[in-house]
A and B are shown apart, each in its own frame.
Chain A
């Protein structure tokens, strides 16, 4: 056993030692005038790189004179070429081979010239448009978002949702580069005479034995894209991050990015640029989701293995998105396999998953999966009786079918369902679940125009049973349901313009809360708050215009209209009095389903990009966003007791105006991407709750929620390395977020009407994500996060009244939790990499919170046990840490 262990350690060490990035090794004058053998020995000694050769080939070779250090690649080429030799980099070893390096098949293919148009038209036109479709060579399905680049003219365009692209070039010879994340770039030399069509197929990247370069998005997008505040991560990048339970987590991965902050250790939701958690629109395959977590935040609601990529818009939201003021998180799912059935799964200590993907006939592909947990056994390990008797589980399932009706029409149907359940002994029972469904029809009209029609539905329900008072047991239900119909049309009819127009129609049905007696014995009074019915109708138009190769603009606007429908009861108060139960003068009863109230407004959005020489650009953007529904909560993270609420006469829609400015630059041939962005956000109609507010089952919320204003500003710095064995990023965010609640009356003021920190004001946030490809099979990952503790309100004094000891609180959010920091490590071992291997697998071992820091999730006060005889204090503050120890986990993933 011991031997095996030592062997394993030595093996891992040897892999680590081998793991050199040959391309970065420099050779200096210490290698001058050596025989080849001496050179090989010295290289092996200093860089741990082995050189393989046959003696007869290298006998006459001497290293050249170097005045300054050069890269090993160049050095070898300079030394070997005169002797009709070349080298191959194989598993980070150097193999010397006879002859000149052959032109590869790919290069040969690249050298083919494509003629577009009729050569007889030579000289007839100055410019011509090339259009076509970019397809996945394997599945033959269109690729949206693929890039077409004409490097010498710095012209770039992207394919639309249906894979269609269009680019206008001067007639003559050019080289076009077609690229898409995870697929091999294709180069085409073209001779352009007049307008014409060219379809391109891109294929999956073959595995390079020495090096795996996975880029989150095209690196040049960093400075070339006009979008601001947009971050795109593919699943490969997310999987590399070390997380709790070894489970790739889409939502938690986002919190490693600049401008995105966690709400707390393993808590649901995230904050973007000083925005609340309910101000993020989270879309899965264009369907909104209202709770993105399982087990209150321990796991993400969606199996990361189903996700193709994730795009987060922190500012510069495209006009097609609306309804939330802080961000849009757009999660796109993978497509089914078109060739043969594939299965992948994972077995962890708490949950397992299984996914299937394959074809049904020639035109249909499907993907289906399920996850379930078996966490009850862990509860049984606990000493606490209440927890032994408790139960917690979740499961989810999903399915997606893509039907390629013909070349111009495609249909995609998606469904998702989940259930979470937690029973806390005989005290309470919590349950919540999501149900999502969508159907999308995409149609290509012609080379320039395409559109898609989408219908989706999303339902979130939460239920709480309170058993704590005998004979007063009751069940509380809340829910939100929405149906959405949208149409999106995209056209590239006009040169250098890409125009998007469309509309959305959403119907909301919200149950803010109803409680019923849990059983026949319960005398709890039933309480039913009126359901809320509303419609949100919006239309938008947007134009992406390349004014010059350097200057581009995206300008658009969205007009939204919110209609609140009856029936409902609205309290009426006289002017100039505080809103409370004593000042109600009448209640207007809207008994029918007619219009009760409405709001509307224009949401302009504009962004400029000016590209500067040296792979850099400056971007400037402004956008206005409106939000008509919000979550009513008084905790920092999402809980099942929270519920959604529409805007009404008292709770006006949130309106945010954001201005952002950024400088973006790539270095070293796009190996390093850097950016710095600053932003300022002004928010209207913020609310905060009065001290001691009862939010649950409160039909008169206007009496406890006080309107005000908000503002947020900050700066974000990102340094990212996307190529090489070592990849990762360093993100730093300085972010402030404030509220001002300054009503007319004393009870409508918080902190005397002065600006104060919002719950999610965390000025400093640092994230470091590192991924190192140790060898073909071993990958090492590490995360480090640091952020300032969030603001909290602490008790400052105490007093006795009757038999009660009570406390007095500081101003709202006057203090802060201790700063948060954590280090995670993980190592992944890939099984056989043989192409013919059917059953493939990987093992991931990870440690979350390596140095076991007790990061505070919350600080609360409670009565304390005296620490000694003379300790007369009755209250103390306690720091509650959710994960205060290093948590190892082990996951086995397989696919075949």
Chain B
């Protein structure tokens, strides 16, 4: 349930006289703090993590990778795993790590300036499959402005996607989701009496995380999540089509089906709270009423100097995935644009917009 009262609470009357200006107060310069982003999963593979530093609020934004840190993962069982830096601020474990359900892990990071940071202990959640993925027709309204600045509303039809995970063993869990989609579309072109057909695909990725707490509904054991996201047909269609890639004149294009690839990370509730705070703060704006300061609580602490602040998260997550084929039927797109310069595909061959997904078959 989205509670956005505070940033849409603008009275029209006030807009007559209201205004917004840049404001540049004198903000104290604070030391750049360590930021950690690490996730340990039950997949058998080397673990990666990212170390960086904060930047001044009004300064240039760039990822300031933390170099030459000494990173170690400890399990309560006594095992430990060392990491090395493979690019600026990016670290990878020397060994494959497969986290064990119920085991507690923590990270220790000693930075090049000698400060010693530790994470809280995080317990690996039990494996939890995705039970169902729901698809339903929906319409999204978007307001645009014409050349003269007059507004008009565009309705975008598309698909709402929601997810139901299996009931977990432990209800004190949260979920992170990422999705990608492989869309299969058809291009029909003619040249004189000749007809050309192309079967193409393109890949779309989620550019944000989706985070939820486990929440049982009154109707049953199923977890009903809010809409995970909305996939409009407009974005599914190959609008940015380079007609020079096809022989003949393109007569029509339509998307026929897509593969929906959903990844689920079952994490601790505290871990989910962290990501919810990240998203909430990212959405927060002020306007008439001040936003609640969303200071995001990290599970890292500096042992050598408790006054030093540290940000970020170490998550333990059980991983599951699900691939769904969705038939969206023939939905014709009348217009297309020539903007890209991809290589011209051969007739009746697959044409690529992006690299092929590994789950494509």
Bind each other: yes
For residue A381, CB closer than 8 A to chain B, the reply is yes
The interface stretch among A141-149, A181-189, A724-732, A880-888 is: A880-888
Cβ contact within 8 Å between A797 and B55: yes
Q: Are A525 and B286 in contact (CB under 8 A)?
A: no
CA distance A635 to B284 in the complex (A): 14
* Residues of A344-390 whose CB lies within 8 A of B: 350, 375, 378-379, 381-388, 390
Q: Are B143 and A797 within 8 A (Cβ)?
A: no
Contact with B along A563-600 (1 / 0, CB 8 A): 00000000000000000001000000000000000000
Q: Once bound together, how far apart are the Cα atoms of A758 and B139, in whole Å?
A: 45
B313 at interface (Cβ–Cβ under 8 A)? yes
Which partner residue on chain A sits nearest B3 by CB separation?
Answer: A696
Once A385-B143, A469-B227, A806-B281 are accepted as A-B contacts, the answer to whether A799 and B30 lie under 8 Å apart by CB is no
The answer to whether A692 touches B277 (Cβ under 8 A) is yes
User: Which residue of the partner chain B has the closest CB to A794?
Assistant: B27
Chain B residues with CB under 8 Å of A815's CB are 25, 27
| Stretch from B13-21, B68-76, B124-132, B351-359 contacting the other chain | B13-21
For window 800-819 of chain A, which residues contact chain B by CB distance below 8 Å? 800-810, 812, 815, 818
Of residues 4 to 25 in B, which have CB atoms within 8 Å of A's CB atoms? 4-6, 8-25
Q: Could you say which residues of chain A place their CB within 8 Å of the CB of B13?
A: 295, 298, 350, 375, 378-379, 392
- Report the minimum CB–CB distance from B337 to chain A (whole Å): 25
Output the residue of B13, B172, B224, B285 with the most chain A CB within 10 A.
B13
Determine the residue in chain B with the shortest Cβ distance to A515.
Answer: B1
Contacts of A803 in B (CB 8 A): 207-209
Asked whether, in the complex, the Cβ of B286 is within 8 Å of the Cβ of A426, the reply is no
Instruction: Summarize B's interface: helix, strand, loop or mixed.
Output: loop
Q: Tell me whether B285 and A472 are in contact (CB under 8 A).
A: no
Is B329 located at the chain interface by the 8 A CB criterion? no
Which of A799, A856, A879, A880 is within 8 Å of B54, CB to CB?
Answer: A799
For B17, the chain A residues whose CB sits under 8 A away are 882-885, 887
Q: Are B295 and A880 in contact (CB under 8 A)?
A: no
Instruction: Give residues 844-889 of A contacting B (CB, 8 Å).
Output: 854, 856-862, 864, 872-885, 887
Assess the B278–A525 pair: CB atoms within 8 A. no
Cβ proximity bits A486-510 to B, threshold 8 Å, 1 near / 0 not: 0000000000000000000000000
Interface string of B123-163 (1 = CB under 8 A from A): 00000000000000011110101000101010000001000
* Complex alpha-carbon distance, A881 and B23, angstroms: 11
Q: Are B217 and A525 in contact (CB under 8 A)?
A: yes
Binds B, one of A118-126, A227-235, A636-644, A824-832: A636-644
Instruction: Give residues of chain A (667-706) contacting chain B, Cβ–Cβ below 8 Å.
Output: 689, 691-696
- CB pair B289 A809 closer than 8 Å: no
Contact with A along B86-128 (1 / 0, CB 8 A): 0000000000000000000000000000000000000000000
Contact with A along B269-283 (1 / 0, CB 8 A): 000000101111110
A798-B288 CB under 8 A given contacts A392-B11, A887-B17: no
Cβ contacts under 8 Å, B18 to chain A: 880-884
CB of A298 within 8 A of CB of B11, answer: yes
Select one of B4, B25, B54 contacting A797, CB under 8 A: B54
Contact of B290 among A388, A468, A792, A876 (CB under 8 A): A792
- B11's partner among A295, A795, A801 (CB-CB below 8 A) is A295
User: Does B288 lie within 8 Å of A422, measured CB to CB?
Assistant: no
Q: Are A804 and B278 in contact (CB under 8 A)?
A: yes
> Does A296 lie at the interface of the complex (its beta carbon under 8 Å from any beta carbon of B)?
yes
Cβ 8 A contact of B293, one of A295, A691, A805? A691
Are the C-beta atoms of A381 and B280 separated by less than 8 Å?
Answer: no
CB B223 to nearest CB in A, in angstroms, measures: 12
Query: How many residues in B have their beta carbons less than 8 Å from beta carbons of A?
Result: 86
Nearest opposing residue in chain B for A704, CB measure: B292
- CB neighbours (8 Å) of A880 from chain B are 18-20, 286-288
Contacts of A879 in B (CB 8 A): 20-23
Contacts of B12 in A (CB 8 A): 375, 378-379, 382, 387, 390, 392
User: Contacts of A885 on B, CB cut-off 8 Å?
Assistant: 17, 19
Distance A636 CA – B9 CA, assembled complex (angstroms): 14
CA distance A295 to B153 in the complex (A): 28
In the bound assembly, the distance between CA atoms of A861 and B277 in angstroms comes to 16
**B residues less than 8 Å from A378 (CB atoms):** 12-13, 16
Q: Which residues of chain B are near A464, meaning CB under 8 Å?
A: 5
Cβ of A383 and Cβ of B296 under 8 Å apart? Answer: no
Interface segment, one of B32-40, B77-85, B242-250: B32-40
- Contact partner, A878, options B20, B209, B288, Cβ 8 Å: B20
Shortest Cβ distance from residue A570 to the other chain B in the assembled complex, whole angstroms: 22
Q: Is the CB of A422 within 8 A of B11?
A: yes
Select the stretch in B59-67, B185-193, B251-259, B316-324 that faces chain A.
Answer: B59-67
Q: In the complex, what residues of B have CB within 8 A of residue A856's CB?
A: 23
**What residues on A are CB-neighbors of B291 within 8 Å?**
860
Does A796 reach chain B (CB closer than 8 Å)? yes
CB distance from A250 to the nearest CB of B (A): 20
Take A350-B13, A797-B57, A799-B35 as given contacts and tell me if A635 and B290 are in contact as well, using a CB distance cutoff of 8 Å.
yes
In the bound assembly, the distance between CA atoms of A695 and B297 in angstroms comes to 18
CB distance from B172 to the nearest CB of A (A): 8
Contact bitstring B290-331, A, C-beta under 8 A = 1, else 0:
111111110000000000010111000000000000000000
A473 to chain B, nearest CB (A): 10
Instruction: Tell whether, in the assembled complex, residue B289 and residue A797 are in contact, meaning their CB atoms are under 8 Å apart.
Output: no
Q: Does A471 reach chain B (CB closer than 8 Å)?
A: yes
* CB-based contact A877/B61 at 8 Å: no
Asked if A403 CB lies within 8 Å of chain B CBs, one says: no
Q: Whose C-beta in chain B lies nearest to the C-beta of A379? A: B12
Distance from A374 Cβ to chain B, minimum over Cβ atoms (Å)? 12
Shortest distance between the CB of B191 and any CB in chain A (Å): 43
Interface contact B35-A801, CB-CB below 8 Å: yes
Q: How far is the CA of A873 from the CA of B287 in the complex (A)?
A: 20
Which chain A residue lies CB-closest to B280? A692
C-alpha gap A882/B55 in the complex (Å):
31
Contact call B53/A382, Cβ cutoff below 8 A = no
Bound-state CA distance A880–B52 (Å) is: 33
How many whole Å from A219's CB to the nearest CB in chain B?
38
Pick from A295, A796, A857: contact of B288, CB under 8 Å: A857
Give CA–CA (A381, B16) in the complex, Å: 9
A466–B145 Cα gap in the complex (Å)? 24
Contacts of A341 in B (CB 8 A): none
> Bound state CA distance, A571 and B292, in angstroms?
25
Instruction: Decide if A641 touches B8 in the complex (CB within 8 Å).
Output: no
| Other-chain contact of B143, A295, A386, A470, A695 (Cβ < 8 Å) | A386
Evaluate contact between A466 and B2: CB separation under 8 angstroms.
yes
Chain B proximity of A692: nearest CB distance (Å): 4
Which A736-794 residues have a C-beta within 8 angstroms of B?
747, 792-794
Is the pair B57, A796 in contact by a Cβ cutoff of 8 Å?
yes
Contact A881:B57 (CB < 8 A) given known A692-B277, A799-B52: no
Verify A471–B138 contact, CB threshold 8 A.
yes
Known contacts A385-B151, A468-B4, A637 near B289 by CB under 8 Å? yes
CB distance from A392 to the nearest CB of B (A): 6
Question: Does B334 lie at the interface of the complex (its beta carbon under 8 Å from any beta carbon of A)?
Answer: no
User: Considering the chains assembled together, what is the distance between the CA atoms of A518 and B69 in angstroms?
Assistant: 53
Q: How far is the CA of A815 from the CA of B28 in the complex (A)?
A: 10
List the 3 closest A-B pairs by CB distance, nearest first.
Answer: A860-B286, A385-B151, A879-B23
A-B contact pairs, 28 of them (CB 8 A): A296-B288, A375-B12, A382-B12, A386-B143, A392-B11, A392-B12, A424-B9, A424-B10, A468-B4, A469-B226, A639-B6, A747-B297, A793-B290, A799-B55, A802-B278, A803-B208, A804-B282, A806-B296, A808-B296, A810-B28, A858-B287, A859-B25, A861-B286, A862-B285, A873-B61, A880-B286, A881-B19, A882-B288
For the complex with contacts A392-B12, A808-B311, 9 further pairs of A-B residues with Cβ separation under 8 Å are: A296-B288, A382-B16, A426-B141, A472-B227, A523-B224, A806-B296, A877-B24, A880-B288, A882-B288
User: Could you list which residues of chain B lie within 8 angstroms of chain A, going by C-beta atoms?
Assistant: 1-6, 8-25, 27-28, 30, 32-33, 35, 37, 52-63, 138-141, 143, 145, 149, 151, 153, 160, 172, 207-209, 217-218, 224, 226-227, 275, 277-282, 285-297, 309, 311-313
